């Protein structure tokens, strides 16, 4: 009796560890590959100086310590986009950088920020989950600047809200504006008059709801009668929704079967499941359905087998933001508090890779111009969309 | 007498030591294969761990792990497998933080109420699995796994939404969602003052959690309960042989429910460490402590001291993952590999030493018999 129990306990434990290891494996594999290229860029930068505008090799004392969100590099989305900005800063500004990812339970965020600050004057944290820890660490490390992606880094307990400290900057995006454009693209491309939205986690201070609101508004701007079905994978405090491709796939399949022919996701790593679902449904039913990616240009980052199902992606240019904040640090113009990256500075946008939206690009550009000029005001609350 | 004690200690430590050595050997092989220098990696880990601030990180991490390990161990002693510590501590911390944020009381009382609520919620939620087992015969492994899902994705999300709708949770900043912050009176202070007496000024704004004291109390309580009370004897007896215990007059059903309730009550304290640290229950709490607690209890052999050592080892490895990445000595996955290998090695080593010990006991018994006048 006892032994059997223990055996079961062991089995469960081993299963858990193996699963954890499998999850890690993917990361390890994808991390390993670019790791090689981390070493490479400085070399390749020296090599073709002809192609870069600045003939003199850029030099600066600024070094950057970047801490990824859970999942780390290789998520084909948010973290990878941040890394692209970091690499560009390495190439164009000559900054050296180190990077790290938190434990799977995110328990060591503060430790990583401290380690980054120990040796770097510029620390970048990728993701709003760092807000509290970054504010605390920044207070104890006045010698370093901290930039947090996706958080305004404003202390809302103060009136009016003020930055947490002189050395804390927030990098935020007008995701609703970008989502408006892909919503419009979806409505222009839909043949069934029904489209879908999959959110990762509901109730995170309205963060993902902003995507939904913009998407619905964009779709309705094209076709007021369009039907938009929305579903969230999980609700806070359950954050699994950002990393549950299997559940995203189930939801997407149900949406496609319900008549939607284009589904947009704002669900981080779960998005892979959406594109798989698009492929599965298209092949089973014979009519092509689409998925829309988020954060980075997912046509280029998804599994090549499903890339032809990526209609477009809502680009959230984390790379632009990361590059700009490093540049500001190098130039000595870095400022505390939030900086919003919106359509006017190409902080958000839509992807054209694959050429699936080339035919409707004029309409999308028209919407874009109207948003920038203020003629269209994009809502951030789905209820108002 | 001393020889016998020495022998006991040797047997008790041989297995974990062997497991540790095996894990280090395996990890070295993995490191070499992945192109890293094991010595450099271990050197970085140790150099980092020798800093006072890192030691604080390790203790802060070990504190909830220890409590979780004890919670699992209590059930293990009764031959029950409480996988539900995960759900129990998250739900308990959520409710306790919410209650703590709503009330305002003198310091000691405020803290006591929060702890009491946390323990009650954990106990009730775990007790549910115990009741299901004795009344309906539902295996506690199945029921606690399901109760985990209900606690994390169901009840937790629902409660937060209800509280938000009723206005008792303020949204805080746009991205920092959680229960209403608890007044200063409800928070257990840090131990920096005590620590600085013995060491130096603590830098980097780190603070040693006061919940560490609570964890030590839990450990002492667990030791006394299991080894020094009638109830503890009944618990161990039922765990070793439920039929014999029953024949000896130990009511099995009551023991099952009590063990689950106690396990859950301790589990309820796991999340208190984080609540006391941030001052409220955040929307992204540290998850998975309940599962690591199972590993910690296994490695520590359900022994109050052993669990402490196991929690410290796991905490040390977790904390090392950061420095390995920044020095570039190894990837952080090596830490997970080491934790996994240690557990597997420990279980194998325990079994091997158990058999070796039984053989030796049989031999010495035979020798004693042969030596006695026939």
Query: Does B349 fall in a domain?
Result: yes
Question: Taking CB atoms and an 8 Å cutoff, what residues of chain A touch B183?
Answer: none
At A31 the pLDDT is 35
Asked whether residue B176 carries a pLDDT value surpassing 70, the answer given is no
Query: Does B365 fall in a domain?
Result: no
A residues 22-61 near B, CB within 8 Å? Answer: 24, 27-28, 31-32, 35
Q: Could you tell me if A214 and A183 are in contact, meaning their C-beta atoms sit under 8 angstroms apart? A: yes
Question: Taking CB atoms and an 8 Å cutoff, what residues of chain B touch A161?
Answer: 173
* Percent of chain B residues topping a pLDDT of 90: 35
Instruction: Look at residues A329, A297, A333 and name the one whose alpha carbon lies nearest to residue A124.
Output: A329
Question: Taking CB atoms and an 8 Å cutoff, what residues of chain A touch B317?
Answer: none
Q: Assign B111 a pLDDT band (cuts: 50, 70, 90).
A: very high
Question: Taking CB atoms and an 8 Å cutoff, what residues of chain A touch B323?
Answer: 115
pTM attached to this predicted model: 0.78
How confident is the model over A283-288, as a mean pLDDT? 91
CATH, range A22-45+57-173+317-347: 3.40.50.2300
At A9 the pLDDT is 54
Query: Does B1 fall in a domain?
Result: no
Residue in chain B closest to A241 (alpha carbons) equals B153
Instruction: Answer yes or no: do B53 and A114 touch at CB < 8 A.
Output: yes
How confident is the model over B231-243, as a mean pLDDT? 87
At A19 the pLDDT is 46
Question: Taking CB atoms and an 8 Å cutoff, what residues of chain B touch A14?
Answer: 344
Q: Could you tell me if B187 and B168 are in contact, meaning their C-beta atoms sit under 8 angstroms apart? A: no
Domain parsing of chain A, residue ranges: 22-45+57-173+317-347, 175-315+355-384
Strand ranges across the sheet with A96-100: A96-100, A63-67, A122-126, A145-149, A168-173, A337-341
Question: Taking CB atoms and an 8 Å cutoff, what residues of chain B touch A108?
Answer: 57, 61, 318-319, 321-322
Question: Taking CB atoms and an 8 Å cutoff, what residues of chain B touch A156?
Answer: 172-174, 176
Q: CATH number of the domain at B255, please.
A: 1.10.3470
Which range has the worst mean pLDDT, A37-41, A208-212, A332-336, B114-118? Answer: A37-41
Which range has the worst mean pLDDT, A89-103, B64-78, B185-199? Answer: B185-199
Tell me the average pLDDT of chain B: 86
Query: Does B13 fall in a domain?
Result: no
Higher pLDDT, A226 or B194: A226
Asked whether residue B168 carries a pLDDT value surpassing 70, the answer given is no
Instruction: Answer yes or no: do A119 and B326 touch at CB < 8 A.
Output: yes
Of A31, A32, A105, the CB nearest to B286: A105
Which range has the worst mean pLDDT, A14-23, A120-129, A182-191, B266-275? Answer: A14-23
Most confident by average pLDDT, A149-158, A161-170, B303-312: B303-312
**Which residues span the domain enclosing B293?**
21-358
* Percent of chain B residues topping a pLDDT of 70: 95
> Are A22-45+57-173+317-347 and A175-315+355-384 in the same CATH fold?
yes
Residue in chain A closest to B238 (alpha carbons) equals A2
Of A10, A115, A156, the CB nearest to B322: A115
pLDDT, one tens digit per residue, over B76-108 is 998 889 999 999 999 999 999 989 988 888 888
Count of domains in chain B? 1
Instruction: Answer yes or no: do B333 and A107 touch at CB < 8 A.
Output: no
Tell me the average pLDDT of chain A: 82
Instruction: Answer yes or no: do A10 and B347 touch at CB < 8 A.
Output: yes
CATH, range A175-315+355-384: 3.40.50.2300
How confident is the model over B139-147, as a mean pLDDT? 91
Asked whether residue B305 carries a pLDDT value surpassing 90, the answer given is yes
Most confident by average pLDDT, A17-21, A54-58, B36-40, B332-336: B36-40
Whole-complex ipTM: 0.81
Instruction: Answer yes or no: do B336 and A237 touch at CB < 8 A.
Output: no
Asked whether residue A36 carries a pLDDT value surpassing 80, the answer given is no
Of B83, B288, B325, the CB nearest to A105: B288
Asked whether residue A42 carries a pLDDT value surpassing 70, the answer given is no
Chain centre to alpha carbon of residue B79: 17
Query: Does B371 fall in a domain?
Result: no
Instruction: Answer yes or no: do B90 and A151 touch at CB < 8 A.
Output: no
Query: Does B185 fall in a domain?
Result: yes
Query: Does B323 fall in a domain?
Result: yes
Q: Assign B269 a pLDDT band (cuts: 50, 70, 90).
A: very high
pLDDT, one tens digit per residue, over B186-215 is 888 888 878 877 877 777 778 888 899 999
Query: Does B47 fall in a domain?
Result: yes
pLDDT, one tens digit per residue, over B28-55 is 998 898 888 888 888 888 988 888 888 9
At B374 the pLDDT is 47
Most confident by average pLDDT, A112-121, A157-166, B349-358: A112-121
At B170 the pLDDT is 52
Instruction: Look at residues A280, A268, A291 and name the one whose alpha carbon lies nearest to residue A182.
Output: A291
């Amino acid at each position: 009796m006892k032994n059997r129990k223990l055996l079961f306990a062991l089995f469960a434990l081993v299963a858990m560890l193996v699963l954890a290891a499998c999850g890690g494996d993917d990361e390890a594999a994808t991390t390993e590959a670019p790791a090689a290229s981390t070493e490479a860029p400085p070399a390749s930068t020296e090599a073709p100086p002809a192609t870069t505008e600045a003939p003199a090799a850029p030099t600066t004392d600024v070094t950057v310590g970047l801490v990824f969100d859970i999942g780390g590099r290789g998520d084909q989305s948010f973290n990878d986009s941040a890394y692209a900005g970091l690499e560009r800063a390495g190439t164009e500004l000559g900054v050296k950088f180190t990077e790290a990812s938190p434990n799977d339970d995110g328990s060591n965020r503060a430790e990583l920020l401290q380690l980054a600050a120990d040796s770097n004057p510029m620390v970048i944290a990728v993701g709003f989950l760092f807000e509290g820890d970054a504010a605390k660490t920044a207070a104890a490390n006045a010698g370093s600047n901290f930039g947090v992606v996706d958080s305004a880094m404003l202390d809302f307990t103060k009136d009016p809200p003020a930055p947490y400290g002189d050395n804390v900057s927030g990098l935020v995006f007008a995701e609703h504006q970008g989502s408006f454009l892909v919503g419009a693209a979806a409505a222009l491309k839909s043949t069934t008059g029904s489209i879908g939205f999959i959110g990762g986690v509901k109730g995170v201070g309205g963060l993902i709801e902003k995507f939904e609101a913009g998407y619905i508004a964009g779709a309705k701007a094209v076709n007021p009668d369009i039907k938009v079905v929305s579903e969230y994978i999980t609700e806070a405090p359950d954050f699994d929704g950002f990393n549950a491709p299997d559940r995203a796939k189930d939801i997407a399949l149900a949406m496609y079967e319900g008549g939607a022919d284009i589904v947009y996701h704002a669900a981080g790593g779960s998005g892979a499941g959406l594109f798989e679902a698009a492929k599965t449904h298209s092949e089973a039913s014979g009519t092509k359905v689409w998925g829309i990616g988020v954060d980075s240009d997912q046509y280029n980052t998804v599994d090549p087998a499903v890339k032809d199902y990526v209609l477009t992606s809502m680009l959230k240019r984390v790379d632009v933001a990361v590059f700009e904040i490093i540049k500001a640090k190098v130039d000595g113009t870095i400022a505390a508090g939030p900086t919003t990256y919106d359509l006017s500075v190409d902080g958000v946008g839509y992807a054209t890779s694959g050429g699936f939206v080339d035919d409707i690009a004029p309409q999308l550009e028209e919407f874009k111009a109207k948003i920038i000029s203020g003629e269209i005001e994009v809502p951030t609350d789905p209820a108002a969309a | 007498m001393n020889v016998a004690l020495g022998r006991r200690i040797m047997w008790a430590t041989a297995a974990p030591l062997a497991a540790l050595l095996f894990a280090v050997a395996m990890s070295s092989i993995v490191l070499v294969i992945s192109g890293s220098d094991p010595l450099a990696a271990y050197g970085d880990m140790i150099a980092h761990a020798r800093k006072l601030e890192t030691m604080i990180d390790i203790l802060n991490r070990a504190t909830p792990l220890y409590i979780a390990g004890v919670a699992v161990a209590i059930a293990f002693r009764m031959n029950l497998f409480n996988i539900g510590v995960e759900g129990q501590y998250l739900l308990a911390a959520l409710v306790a933080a919410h209650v703590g944020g709503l009330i305002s009381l003198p310091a000691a009382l405020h803290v006591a109420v929060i702890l009491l609520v946390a323990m009650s919620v954990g106990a009730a939620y775990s007790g549910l699995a115990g009741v299901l087992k004795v009344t309906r015969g539902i295996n506690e492994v199945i029921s606690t796994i399901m109760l985990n899902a209900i606690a994390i994705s169901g009840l937790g999300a629902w409660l937060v939404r209800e509280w938000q709708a009723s206005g008792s949770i303020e949204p805080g900043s746009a991205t920092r969602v959680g229960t209403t912050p608890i007044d200063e009176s409800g928070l257990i202070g840090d131990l920096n003052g005590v620590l600085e007496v013995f060491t130096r000024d603590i830098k980097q704004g780190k603070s040693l959690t006061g919940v560490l004291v609570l964890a030590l109390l839990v450990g002492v309580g667990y030791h006394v309960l299991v080894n020094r009370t009638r109830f503890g004897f009944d618990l161990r007896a039922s765990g070793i042989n439920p039929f014999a215990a029953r024949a000896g007059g130990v009511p099995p059903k009551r023991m099952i429910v009590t063990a689950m309730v106690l396990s859950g009550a301790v589990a309820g304290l796991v999340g208190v460490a984080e609540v006391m640290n941030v001052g409220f229950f955040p929307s992204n709490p540290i998850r998975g402590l309940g599962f690591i607690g199972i590993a910690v209890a296994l490695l520590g052999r359900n022994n109050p001291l052993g669990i402490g050592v196991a929690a410290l080892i796991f905490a040390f490895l977790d904390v090392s993952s950061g420095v390995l990445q920044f020095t570039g000595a190894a990837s952080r996955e090596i830490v997970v590999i080491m934790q996994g290998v240690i557990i597997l090695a420990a279980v194998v080593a325990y079994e091997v030493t158990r058999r070796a010990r039984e053989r030796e006991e049989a031999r010495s018994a035979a020798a004693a018999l042969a030596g006695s006048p026939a």
